[in-house]
Structure 1
Amino acid sequence: MSDFSSMGLNKPIISAITELGFKNPTEVQLKSIPLLIDKPKDIISLAQTGTGKTAAFGLPILHHIDTNSKFTQSLIISPTRELCLQITQELKKYAINLDKLNIVAVYGGSNIQEQAKSIKRGAQIIVATPGRMLDMLKRKYVNISKIDFCVLDEADEMLNMGFYTDIKSILAKTPKTKKTWLFSATMPNEVSKIAEEFMKNPYKITVGEKNSTSENVSHISFLINNRNKYNSLKLFIDSCSDIYSIIFCRTRRETQKVCEKLIGDGYSSGALHGDLSQNQRDSVMRAFRTRQIKILVATDVASRGIDVESITHIIHYKIPDEAEIYNHRSGRTGRASKKGLSVLFFSDSEKRKVKLIQNKLKINIKPSQLPSKNEVFSNQIIGYFDKIINTNINDDLNPFLSSINDNLESISKEELIRKIASLEFEKKLNSFNEEETKASKGKKGKDLRYQINLGTKDYYNWQNLKEFLTEICSLSPGDIYNVDVQKTKSFFNSKPEHKDLIFKVFNNFEIENRTVNVNITNKRGQRDESSKSHKERRFNKNKKKKKSKSFKRNFK
């Protein structure tokens, strides 16, 4: 049984997946689909992300669905909004030839009434996140008492996120006669408890070893000094010719800070963390999927459920506390038979954690040495000119080049090469030299902490306040950082050399006849309250609609 046509799937499904280019089933599909079609039973399938699990459970579900009935027959629970939408989109592609089938995605951050209406019209399959599903059950917007199948996708991720109680509450509303299909990359104790309580003699499918990592992912590590961690990160990124990467940080603040620094240093980067609104999060992910940004800096919680093809590098900027988290992070590269690299930065005090991860996952994280700045810089120049040499000539440009040929007659080949290199690499060379100067002389002065009398009361969060400050002061994004927004005031950092400019801009500065004051403060460690305020305003908006104020900037 080496192809989909011999698995017993309905012809409309075979036709759809053939059109999508499905040829040879993956291992998890080979082991799951025939079993779930012939005599469906409870199963536990252990396989890494990116191995084709969606089709492994999605195709059998579509095979068994009665499209003539509008009752909800299948429930698929996934950990995040992104994964929920992704599964829904994939199922709709597989079901393109099935008439009268309605698949509804149920997730937070979207209008619950609209989702309830879609279900009321008849939804044979519901794909849901645990929190929103539980909310809809409490409001009696959905009935899952007659479902035939329940899928728990990325079960370990859901339980790591604290959804154990929610999942138990949801499963308690389902019939005992249903078949439960549990898919997970690892098998922690919480997953075992769910299986024991809600599954009957489940058949176990394992792709690779239990709690194992993908064979397509190589692992390397760099022992670094924490004070030089960011510069080490930049050096590694610069050493990669075509990087498309996720950088994992521990906290929202660290994620924001690293992303701001990368943007300020000219890297194509975006941040993904819990302080972002749903629209901001969607915008960042769209930009990353379309490669408008090449480097995504993310927290573990915010990135759960992300499935993006062709990621080349996973960078652990902060080592995780648990091997399972390292495994999940690394599993986002090396998918669909492509090779990937997992890169770990760690300090002397974290050596023990590295050993624990290696022992638990039975992998070798190879110690490596970062190249020197001169080596990286030299390779970048060589790579740039290699691209020029290998570029195909477009003869349509010839009419526009005649005058340029005349202008270049007086310039030798060697001088032209130096001019091109200077134009392309002067800024980066200056950046390298500045870093060397700072390293040799030490920091000339600490950054300055400012207080400004704008806050959440004025509808600012850390992002739009940072945008406002950089725009109004004509600074780059990396020049304003550590932005913390509170109710009536906010704080931000900048380098001493920007002090005169900032005070000049805000001298007699007004917004709607209100003076905006900026002062230097010695206070440090303020807590950002903008995300909390945003959630409170959204909650209040549901209770009583408010018109948001818009500020007009008046310059004096």
Structure 2
Amino acid sequence: MTKFKALGLNEALLQAIEDLGFETPSEVQEKTIPILLQDETDLVALAQTGTGKTAAFGFPLIQKIHSESRTTQGVILSPTRELCLQITNEMQLYAKYVKGLNIVAIYGGASIVEQSKQIKRGAQIIVATPGRMKDMIGRGMIDISKIDYCILDEADEMLNMGFFEDIKDILSTTPKEKSTWLFSATMPKEVSTIAKKFMNQPQEVTVGTKNSGVDTVQHEYYVVGGRDRYEALKRLADANPGIFSVVFCRTKRDTQRVAEKLIEDGYNAGALHGDLSQNQRDLVMNSFRKKQIQMLVATDVAARGIDVDDISHVINYQLPDEIETYTHRSGRTGRAGKSGISMVIITRSELRKIKTIENMIKQQFETKKIPSGMEICEIQLYHLASKIRNTKINNAVDNYLPAINDVFEGLDREELIKKIISVEFTRFYSYYSKVKDLNSSEGQRGEREPRSSKGTEVSSDGSVRYFINVGEKDGYDWMSLKDFLRDTLEIGKDDVYRVDVKDSFSFFNTDAQFTDLILNTFKEFKVDGRFVNVEVSKSPEGGGGRRGKDKGRRRDKDSKKGKFKERSFSKGSSQRTGKRRSKKRDGFF
């Protein structure tokens, strides 16, 4: 609270900030708010999605608006209806204690007449999509010739979506002496053109490196055959029980097709693309926010309005046509200080794009392998055991216990546990026990010959994979667990890699040379009075991959190219939004 006060915000805003529970300004807020409050200036701010940009321009705008006047003084342009409504809702919360301030959203898909009436009643701030704004200006329903402030939010995305001419036309109707604030995740040529044409010596604020990704996101890529892309997606989902993700496809057709196939296969999935009606889109997004949908398959345009802080994974089913768009995709996870993972499924012919993206985001990808069937079985087995252990007992079963004990008479503890686990695991094992290796090893980076360590199973890249009995429920994510292991073992920065954190357990890899150190260190090892156990995983090959520092790209040409025959699916599920059929799926269990 005092930190926000130090930025120069007034009491009305500070009171709203306290109600919202904000405590510490984000970096983009710390850098932009004092500039915008102290000066009448143009500003270009470059920061990733999820870094608090709405408050960065919203707080200063609200403080500078004269609420006693009904004249429109500020316009905020945003790329989509969802984002327009999101900004409007947040701005209204910020302005909770500012009397007489009206903030109106105008966008396509709603009554233009009703929106015009709201503006005529007095709207000091208008939040708009470019298309609807241009339409209403052309009809004489909006007058922005006297505005003091114009904000372009997600400027790069608006231009990627083809709004370049609309934005130029809108800005040409505004006064030259206004202040223009441009907020963007990247700075492509079109954004620079807008800045040069319509801004006057703008100050520039950059959070992180220009056009870079955020350091809370781990970037991974998986090389598969073109026909194995969907099967790879399923395995990545099954290897991450409890996944809450956005899956990006390039086209509306692919988006719908992938979502339908996931639904047919029993996953909680839904599609989000431009061919859905607004009501359908709202239903899908509401289900996603409530986590009734775990895998939201979306196009880049439709995903602009997604603002959910706890997305665990972004999966690039296909890379975008515009490489800059990858920054926006990966920015959907790792938000609000949380960690996230961005996965890319690619073919060998697309490997060159990875290097291009690495140069752009100033971060390196980790080469990983699609988990084998046996590794997925292992993960799901531990997941099922943890789920049973953590299940809250329903005391309504007490009355039935005598009869149930009679059923189980003669079974010892170990046999009973095996039978309980096998109820679900047998079905799962039957599916994955005979599946093929999907990995296309040509193009995998940093592969090495296997080394042995006193009988320890070593994968083909010379690493050993371990199981550890701590996970998300213990407060770990991939970053903090990696730090814990390095500090505990006192080994080098890059000696722990492929850290995969699940709900109540995790996996990690090291080179085989560290096996004795690790197993000896974690004998009788306790954290806060609890034993932390580490053992060698039974699936050393599963998930593959080398640490991020390996830069060589050695190709294993002995690996056979995998083939996958696509199944046909019913087309009658196009309107479903993730409601499952008969089989329930949490991971696979």
Query: What's the TM-score bracket when you normalise by the shorter of the two chains?
Result: 0.7 to 0.9
1:359-392 deviation per Cα after TM superposition (whole angstroms, max 9, x unaligned) = 2332211111222111211220121112222334
Question: 1:480-491 residue pairs with structure 2 within 5 A?
Answer: none
Question: 1:55-454 residue pairs with structure 2 within 5 A?
Answer: 55-393=55-393, 395=395, 398-399=398-399, 401-432=401-432
Within 2, Cα distance between the matches of 1:15 and 1:373?
Answer: 54
Within 2, Cα distance between the matches of 1:150 and 1:444?
Answer: 52
Partner of residue 538, structure 2: none
Does structure 1 retain, via aligned residues, the 8 Å contact 2:256–2:574? no
Within 2, Cα distance between the matches of 1:94 and 1:318?
Answer: 38
Does structure 2 retain, via aligned residues, the 8 Å contact 1:268–1:293? yes
Does structure 1 retain, via aligned residues, the 8 Å contact 2:225–2:563? no
Amino acid paired to 1:315: I
Equivalent position SS for 2:305: coil
Partner of residue 10, structure 2: 10
Deviation at 1:67, TM superposition (A): 1.4
Within 1, Cα distance between the matches of 2:166 and 2:564?
Answer: 53
- TM-score if structure 2 supplies the norm length? 0.73
- Decide whether aligned partners of structure 1 residues 118 and 345 sit closer, same or farther in structure 2, where only a CA change above 3 A counts: same
Does structure 2 retain, via aligned residues, the 8 Å contact 1:322–1:357? no
Deviation at 1:74, TM superposition (A): 0.7
- Decide whether aligned partners of structure 1 residues 64 and 466 sit closer, same or farther in structure 2, where only a CA change above 3 A counts: closer
- TM-score if structure 1 supplies the norm length? 0.77
Within 1, Cα distance between the matches of 2:356 and 2:66?
Answer: 49
Within 2, Cα distance between the matches of 1:97 and 1:151?
Answer: 22
Does structure 1 retain, via aligned residues, the 8 Å contact 2:374–2:433? no
- Decide whether aligned partners of structure 1 residues 54 and 102 sit closer, same or farther in structure 2, where only a CA change above 3 A counts: same
1:155-209 deviation per Cα after TM superposition (whole angstroms, max 9, x unaligned) = 0000000000000111111111211000001111111111111111101111111
Deviation at 1:409, TM superposition (A): 3.1
Deviation at 1:124, TM superposition (A): 0.9
**Runs of at least 5 residues in structure 2 that lack an aligned partner in the other structure:** 439-561, 584-589
Amino acid paired to 2:242: D
- Decide whether aligned partners of structure 1 residues 463 and 275 sit closer, same or farther in structure 2, where only a CA change above 3 A counts: farther
- Decide whether aligned partners of structure 1 residues 329 and 133 sit closer, same or farther in structure 2, where only a CA change above 3 A counts: same
- Decide whether aligned partners of structure 1 residues 340 and 448 sit closer, same or farther in structure 2, where only a CA change above 3 A counts: closer
Deviation at 1:466, TM superposition (A): 7.4
| Structure of higher RCO (CA pairs closer than 8 Å, 6+ residues apart) | 2
1:453-482 deviation per Cα after TM superposition (whole angstroms, max 9, x unaligned) = xxxxxxxxx767777xx99xx999xxxxxx
Question: 1:26-37 residue pairs with structure 2 within 5 A?
Answer: 26-37=26-37
Deviation at 1:397, TM superposition (A): 5.3
Within 1, Cα distance between the matches of 2:128 and 2:299?
Answer: 22
Amino acid paired to 2:306: I
- Decide whether aligned partners of structure 1 residues 55 and 237 sit closer, same or farther in structure 2, where only a CA change above 3 A counts: same
User: Does 1:21 find its partner at 2:51?
Assistant: no
Deviation at 1:404, TM superposition (A): 3.0
Deviation at 1:233, TM superposition (A): 1.3
Within 2, Cα distance between the matches of 1:49 and 1:412?
Answer: 55
Amino acid paired to 1:55: A
Does structure 2 retain, via aligned residues, the 8 Å contact 1:248–1:316? yes
- Decide whether aligned partners of structure 1 residues 403 and 447 sit closer, same or farther in structure 2, where only a CA change above 3 A counts: closer
Within 1, Cα distance between the matches of 2:437 and 2:76?
Answer: 56
Does structure 2 retain, via aligned residues, the 8 Å contact 1:323–1:361? no
Give the % identical residues: 53
Deviation at 1:398, TM superposition (A): 3.4
Does structure 1 retain, via aligned residues, the 8 Å contact 2:105–2:128? yes
Does structure 2 retain, via aligned residues, the 8 Å contact 1:47–1:183? yes
Within 2, Cα distance between the matches of 1:350 and 1:21?
Answer: 44
Deviation at 1:355, TM superposition (A): 1.8
Within 2, Cα distance between the matches of 1:31 and 1:381?
Answer: 48
- Decide whether aligned partners of structure 1 residues 376 and 464 sit closer, same or farther in structure 2, where only a CA change above 3 A counts: closer
Within 2, Cα distance between the matches of 1:54 and 1:366?
Answer: 32
Amino acid paired to 2:67: T
Does structure 1 retain, via aligned residues, the 8 Å contact 2:261–2:569? no
CA RMSD of superposed structures (Å)? 2.9
Amino acid paired to 2:44: I
Equivalent position SS for 1:323: coil
Moved more, 349-358 or 142-151: 349-358
Equivalent position SS for 1:55: helix
Equivalent position SS for 2:262: helix
Within 1, Cα distance between the matches of 2:397 and 2:25?
Answer: 47
1:214-267 deviation per Cα after TM superposition (whole angstroms, max 9, x unaligned) = 111111111111122211111111111321111111112211111111111111
Amino acid paired to 1:148: D
Amino acid paired to 2:282: D
Partner of residue 515, structure 2: none
Higher helix share: 1
Does structure 2 retain, via aligned residues, the 8 Å contact 1:44–1:202? yes
Amino acid paired to 1:193: T
Does structure 2 retain, via aligned residues, the 8 Å contact 1:2–1:25? no
Partner of residue 541, structure 1: none
Partner of residue 52, structure 1: 52
Within 1, Cα distance between the matches of 2:66 and 2:41?
Answer: 18
Within 1, Cα distance between the matches of 2:90 and 2:167?
Answer: 23
**Runs of at least 5 residues in structure 1 that lack an aligned partner in the other structure:** 451-461, 477-556
- Decide whether aligned partners of structure 1 residues 385 and 160 sit closer, same or farther in structure 2, where only a CA change above 3 A counts: same
Moved more, 315-324 or 121-130: 315-324
Equivalent position SS for 2:324: helix
